[in-house]
Chains A and B, each alone.
Chain A
Amino acid sequence: MDQDVKDLEHAKSFWYADWSFPIIVGIMSAGVFAGTSMYYNYGVGAFNEVAIVAMLKAGMTGGSYGAAAAFGASFLFARILEGSLVGILDLGGSILTGVGIGIPAILLSMDIEAPVKNFPLALLTGLVIGVLIGGIIYAVRHFTLGQSKATFGADVMMGAGNETGRFLGPLIILSAVTASIPIGIGATAGAAAFYAWKKPIAGGAIIGAMILGFFFPVKL
């Protein structure tokens, strides 16, 4: 009986059906794109890793948007292919990096500022892009379903992605050491404390560096 109810829900309801997928992706993209808009205007709120947001920052502070645009767009492309084939669209690569960083970078590099700067317009832009992405996946899925059982190396990329995160902790300490001696000591102690508490050491290194940097400020 329970199983029957679930089957029915799978086929029809918004919560389980394939047709609602573009709407869900649209809602997510609207929020993430608006988050980037807030980052552009106020310097907070981008839904991504420091390293990836830094690429967008490079463009905002007068450099080139090229890296962010190419990086984000290629990730989006790879993840759309993968998402329709494995049944799970990777949120990080497709929406957070592709829509949140790649597309704003492309728009800004072409001097189209309004969709990023204006908050309601950012919500709308994100929504439209997300519905499009969800629609493409819906179409590809129905077109290729059952034709292919390949993973397209999703496991390899996932493994490498997780491995990358581990490098950030030591890198932050190494860069803190070059900022100043107190900040270096703070980062080292913070990382060690977080490691002892079984927390990611990058967080400890940042907090340690910030505390010492507050008492012994450095100039830019």
Chain B
Amino acid sequence: MHIVVILIESIIIGGLVGFAAGIGAARMFNAPTVQALGAFRTLGEMNAAQGDPASHFSFGLGFFFNAWASTVGAGAFTQDVTHRVIPNWSAAILLIKNKDLAQTMHNPKKMGLMSALIGVIVVTFLNVTSSSIPASLQVTAVKVLVPAATTLINMVMPIIFWLAAIDAGRRSGLFGTVFGGMAALIMGNAVPGVVLGILIGKGVEEIGWTRITRIMLAAVILLFVLSAFFRSFDIQLLKQFGLGVPQWLQSWHRAIGG
């Protein structure tokens, strides 16, 4: 029963995601004239394997195994399913019949329909095979993957993004450091703050303090203020500095449920 539900849901999900991923990827070859949905790494990699069905297929296959291992282990597909497996496999199939890139890999209609089919097959396969694995494997996966993932999110990712911000120039380094520290305090993870710091730092460096960058900075500050309020950071802050929490602030929190 369980497995039938997973099967049906997988077919629906795979079709939707595959269809959109295919159109989005093909539209990337027409960006920035056409607004696309994809990733720069996908664009680069698909260009690297351009025209050769075997390269596209084997590239996708490598990541497919990785995704399979991750799905069996932790139920997570990895982003590679939409970034690499689906677009590359549908490009490979289309290219077998026709070597003209403009009519195949760069054509959103053909890529969308073929990717919907590939999506159904890949998603269903991953979900059905991994939902029927023995318990001892799941225990191993949890014991191995969860600690590794925790270190990755809390330590490795913030440090890599932080160093990238510092290396990218004085402005992004400064904004990255301030927002990174604030995000670690308020949100519990520094990465979002560092990312926003890079965004604003590089934006100001490239186009100066225009209306766009000012609106962005205001929006980021608002994001921090709201996150702080809803995670009761303001109350913690006042308490740990040994100050009293005013009555009106506490009643605000109660009223909004923060």
Chain A residue at minimum C-beta to C-beta distance from B20: A28
- Given A89-B37, A175-B144, are A25 and B152 neighbors across the interface (CB < 8 Å)? no
- The answer to whether A96 and B183 touch across the interface, beta carbons within 8 angstroms, is no
Cα(A202)–Cα(B63), bound, Å: 11
- B202 near A152: Cβ-Cβ < 8 Å: yes
- Looking at chain A, what size class is its interface with the partner chain? 35 or more
Does B153 sit within 8 A of A, measured CB to CB?
yes
B137 and A153 contact, CB distance less than 8 A: no
Judge whether B52 is part of the interface by a CB distance below 8 angstroms: no
Category for how many chain B residues contact A: 35 or more
> Which of B123, B141, B168 is within 8 Å of A210, CB to CB?
B141
- Let me know if A150 is at the binding interface, CB within 8 A: yes
Question: What's the Cα separation between A158 and B199 when bound, in Å?
Answer: 12
Q: What are the residues of chain A within 8 A of B81 when measuring CB–CB?
A: 47
Interchain CB contact (< 8 A) of B27 among A16, A52, A214: A16
Query: Does B145 lie within 8 Å of A175, measured CB to CB?
Result: yes
Instruction: Determine the distance from Cα of A153 to Cα of B20 in the docked complex, in whole angstroms.
Output: 26
Interface string of B109-137 (1 = CB under 8 A from A): 10010000000000100110011001011
Contact status B203-A152, CB under 8 Å: yes
- Proximity string of chain A (175-208) to chain B, C-beta cutoff 8 Å, 1 when within and 0 when not: 1101100010001000000000001101100110
> From B18, which residue of chain A is reached at the shortest CB distance?
A31
B195 near A87 with CB under 8 A, answer no
Give min CB distance, A24 to chain B, whole Å: 5
Asked whether, in the complex, the Cβ of A206 is within 8 Å of the Cβ of B69, the reply is: yes
Q: How far is the CA of A39 from the CA of B10 in the complex (A)?
A: 11
Q: Point out the residues of chain B lying under 8 angstroms from A176, CB to CB.
A: 144
Q: Which chain A residue has the least Cβ–Cβ distance from B8?
A: A119
Given known contacts A49-B78, A71-B189, is B13 in contact with A199 (CB within 8 Å)?
A: no
Closest-by-CB residue of B relative to A126 is B16
A206 contacts B145, CB within 8 Å? yes
- A67-B187, A67-B188 given; A209·B164 CB < 8 A: no
Contact present for A174 and B137 (CB under 8 Å)? no
A217-B140 in contact (CB<8A): yes
Give per-residue flags for A42-66: 1 if the beta carbon is below 8 A from chain B beta carbons, else 0. Answer: 1111111111111101000000101
- The reply to whether A44 and B6 contact each other, CB–CB distance below 8 Å, is yes
Q: Which residues of B contact A144 (CB under 8 A)?
A: 212
Q: When the two chains form their complex, are residues B139 and A46 in contact, meaning their CB atoms are under 8 A apart?
A: no
Let me know if B36 is at the binding interface, CB within 8 A.
Answer: yes
A88 contacts which chain B residues (CB < 8 A)? Answer: 28, 31-32, 36-40, 43
A to B CB contacts below 8 Å, 5 in the list: A15-B109, A45-B13, A71-B191, A74-B196, A87-B35
Residues of chain A at the chain B interface (Cβ within 8 Å): 10, 15-18, 21, 24-25, 27-28, 30-32, 34-35, 38-39, 42-55, 57, 64, 66-67, 70-71, 73-75, 77-78, 81-84, 86-92, 95-96, 110, 119, 123, 137-138, 141, 144, 147-154, 156-160, 162-164, 167-168, 171-172, 174-176, 178-179, 183, 187, 199-200, 202-203, 206-207, 209-210, 212-214, 217-220
With A49-B76, A206-B144 known, 8 other A-B pairs at CB within 8 A are A34-B13, A42-B131, A44-B71, A49-B78, A164-B161, A199-B66, A200-B63, A214-B140
